[in-house]
Amino acid sequence: MLVFLYTDQTPFTKNNGKDQLSYAIEIFSIADKYLIDDLRYRAMQIIWESLTDDRAAEILFSVATNWPDLKECVLDYVVNRFNFVRKTDTFKNIKSNQSNYPSAGEVFAELLLKLVPDS
């Protein structure tokens, strides 16, 4: 975060052994906490660009529920690639262990509404 504040640069590369997506989520959280909107926006872009079918489900159910705009972004990815996301081990694990994900019911309901819109 200090690099961004002093240089306006956002080096979203591996940091402290974390992959780019995990690091971007961490930076997103910090930027949100300290109201650094530009850094928050850039972090969300990196999150979007770094999503994979497997990681999208994990992020949607465990992290994104804390921020409505991030949740919407990840939810859109999952909806667009649902045929692939639903086949991942991560998604299957979430489905069978919903008690480990406090917002699972809400997220599944939103997912269903987006997948099967009202006529």
Q: Which runs of consecutive H residues, i.e. helices, occur in 14-52?
A: 20-33, 37-50
User: Residue 52 pLDDT more than 60?
Assistant: yes
Global pTM reads: 0.85
User: Residue 46 pLDDT more than 80?
Assistant: yes
pLDDT digits (tens, 9 = 90+) for 59-100: 999 999 999 999 999 999 999 999 999 999 999 999 999 999
What's the rounded Cα separation, in Å, for the pair 5 and 26?
A: 16
